[in-house]
Structure 1
Amino acid sequence: MGWFSKFNKKELSATPIEPTALTPDSTSVPKVDHNQLNGASVHDNQGIFLIYAYLQQDFEGRGFNDALISPDEGYKNDNLRLIKYDLEILIHQVKTYHESLMKDLEFHIHSRGRAGLVDLVEELKIKQTDLQAHIAKVAAFENSLETDTGLCERAVLAYKRGFMKGMASITQTYLLSKKF
């Protein structure tokens, strides 16, 4: 035991220890991260949830700022195409992720079924059903992207609205505030 404590002393002396002050907000009770819980309704910020996160971005603010940079119709159209292309790339990534996850689930269902783990297989089948529903939603996102409808259109409309607000802001700042 003396041998290990000799090395620990050298290691501790080499790195200074900084005291941490407790703030009124900090508590000694650990917080539970609900994303780490195992359940059908809990997600791990993968798959379809990446698409939802992308669509919930502040496209209006982005459009407003882009209009302040370059209030040009061509610039706006290019950025709208980029938004759609980024979403298309994301949809393809999610589809690949879902396909891989489905293969993993099928393997585990078959192998755990052969091992006689009935409850585990039933739980995996529930996850598989949820995954199939997510795959169907991703297909709907892909279709709505192609037809410019649904939730995908929300990003485009928000960007256009922000761009128009930016152009209006430029006009109000430079022309309407001037006295004749």
Structure 2
Amino acid sequence: MGWFTRFKKNEPTTQVDAKTVALPESSKQISVDNSQLNGASIHDQQGIFLIYAYLQQDFEKRGFDDALVSPDEGYKNDNIRLIKYDLEILVHQIKTYHESLMKDIEFHIHSRGRAGLIDLVDELKIKQTDLKAHMDKVQEFEHSLQSDSGFCERAILAYKRGFMKGMASITQTYLLSKKF
């Protein structure tokens, strides 16, 4: 058999890169990132990372823009309450996500332990420990949200500062630039 394959035409072979595999229209495109192959370093914008992303918004610019729309104290207070409510919704979503993920991890620990997959169970226990730490951090965010301290307070202060800058900008533009 090997003798006949020698005379077969050599067709050019193409290597397929796992990063650019396109699936049919009916399925999604899969993108494989080498940094995600090791589960220890995945930050998939889930869980606590959503809170960090929310708090890293430019609340000062948001406050400035809101002041230009309506430089009213009631409007400012309503928007501050909305910031808190949005963060509270996000915290509740993440707590639900973490609780569900914890149940999944516990199930896999038990089932893989029964199957004798010791190394996999050890990796899952590490993930479980990390998840517990994240759950504790989310709990801290929830307490700081209720007491108006910590990162929540930072977002509110940035919004207020931006709102005040917006009001000052309105005054400087319309009144202080007028000639008498």
Instruction: Provide the TM-score with structure 1 as the length reference.
Output: 0.81
Q: Which residue in 2 is equivalent to 1:131?
A: 131
Any residues of structure 2 matched to 1:5-154 within 5 Å, and which? 33=33, 36-154=36-154
Task: Work out the percentage of aligned pairs sharing the same amino acid.
Answer: 82
State how many pairs are aligned.
Answer: 153
Q: Could you tell me how far 1:172 is from its partner in structure 2?
A: 0.4
Q: Could you tell me how far 1:43 is from its partner in structure 2?
A: 1.3
Q: Could you tell me how far 1:33 is from its partner in structure 2?
A: 3.2
Q: Encode CA deviations 1:91-122: one digit per residue, 9 max, x unaligned.
A: 00000000000000000000000000000000
1:109 to 1:34, Cα distance in 2 relative to 1, 3 A: same
In structure 2, stretches of 5+ residues that fail to align are 1-16, 21-31
In structure 1, stretches of 5+ residues that fail to align are 1-27
Q: Which residue in 2 is equivalent to 1:164?
A: 164
Q: Could you tell me which amino acid in structure 2 is paired with residue 132 of structure 1? A: K
Q: Could you tell me which amino acid in structure 2 is paired with residue 158 of structure 1? A: A
CA distance in 2, matches of 1:82, 1:37: 39
Q: Could you tell me how far 1:157 is from its partner in structure 2?
A: 0.6
Q: Could you tell me how far 1:44 is from its partner in structure 2?
A: 1.1
Q: 1:64·1:163 contact (CA, 8 Å) conserved in 2?
A: yes
Q: 1:105·1:124 contact (CA, 8 Å) conserved in 2?
A: yes
Q: 1:67·1:166 contact (CA, 8 Å) conserved in 2?
A: yes
Q: Could you tell me how far 1:35 is from its partner in structure 2?
A: 5.8
Q: Could you tell me how far 1:154 is from its partner in structure 2?
A: 1.1
Q: 1:35·1:43 contact (CA, 8 Å) conserved in 2?
A: no
Q: 2:63·2:161 contact (CA, 8 Å) conserved in 1?
A: yes
Root-mean-square deviation (Å)? 1.8
CA distance in 2, matches of 1:46, 1:96: 12
Q: Which residue in 2 is equivalent to 1:20?
A: none
Instruction: Provide the TM-score with structure 2 as the length reference.
Output: 0.81
- Secondary structure of 1:178 counterpart: coil
- Secondary structure of 1:40 counterpart: helix
Q: Could you tell me which amino acid in structure 2 is paired with residue 151 of structure 1? A: F
CA distance in 2, matches of 1:95, 1:176: 50
Q: Could you tell me which amino acid in structure 2 is paired with residue 145 of structure 1? A: L
- Secondary structure of 1:71 counterpart: coil
Q: 1:65·1:163 contact (CA, 8 Å) conserved in 2?
A: yes
